[in-house]
Amino acid sequence: MQSRKRTAASGPALVRLLARFADLDVDEPGASLSDRLSQWLGWTDAIALSTALSGDPPAISGARSAGAAQREACARVRASLANAIAPAKTAAPARHRAPVQTPIVEVPVDYAVYRQRYLSLQQTMESDIGALRGRLRAVLAAKSDRTARLAVVDAVMEQALFARERTLFAKVPALLGKHFERMRRAQEAEGAPSAWLDAFEKDMQSVLLAELDVRFQPVEGLLAACQAAH
């Protein structure tokens, strides 16, 4: 019987990594981004977005103009999150080596440890990036009526898509769990050394960094808008 040919994944690195690790077929999107967004937005979201686009922007004062300080703030937040992701070793049970005379003793590893670490890092990304996004909106809103309207649109879109984004990101640890179990079964079947766990930790780190890239896109857009209006 002819094996089914898997569709090559395209798009963001996060999608490509998850498709490869979870052995998924990823079809090319059949609808444009605007069409997909229209399916995600409810009628109340549409009203809020329409108001933001057509109404007078709120008066916001006290925000500094964008410049080196904002660029440095974005770089600082991103570096902090990347550093939190970077350590390959998690809080998983250590694999202890017995005295030299005896074989290596392997301590069973539970994916729950990695799942908890992933969820914790997701919460940190959500909190830190959300706060940074709000600060950039305040800077953008203080520049002009046009950029203030853009800040309001971003706030409306963040609120409208928040629940949908959280639901989608919540699926990532589950997909990684399947990858973990598949690697463990392969190790048990082949009698491979415990290096498979180190390989999985690197895979998880790659997925976390790819998720950071996706989550940071709105921040990069706001920063670019601030700099363009400078």
pLDDT, tens digit, for every residue of 34-43? 565 556 556 4
Buried b (16+ CB within 10 A) or exposed e, 71-90: eebbeebbeebeeebeeeeb
Most confident listed range (156-165, 169-178, 217-226) = 169-178
Q: Where are the domains of the chain?
A: 13-57+66-86+107-228
pLDDT of residue 57: 53
pTM equals: 0.76
Does 67 or 97 have the greater pLDDT score? 67
Q: What is the CA radius of gyration of the chain?
A: 22
The answer to whether 176 and 113 have CB atoms below 8 angstroms apart is: no
Distances (CA, A) of 155 to 9, 30, 53, 174, 224: 31, 28, 12, 29, 16
The answer on pLDDT for 127 being more than 60 is yes
162: left (phi over 0), alpha (psi -120 to 50) or beta: alpha
Q: What is the DSSP letter of 78?
A: H
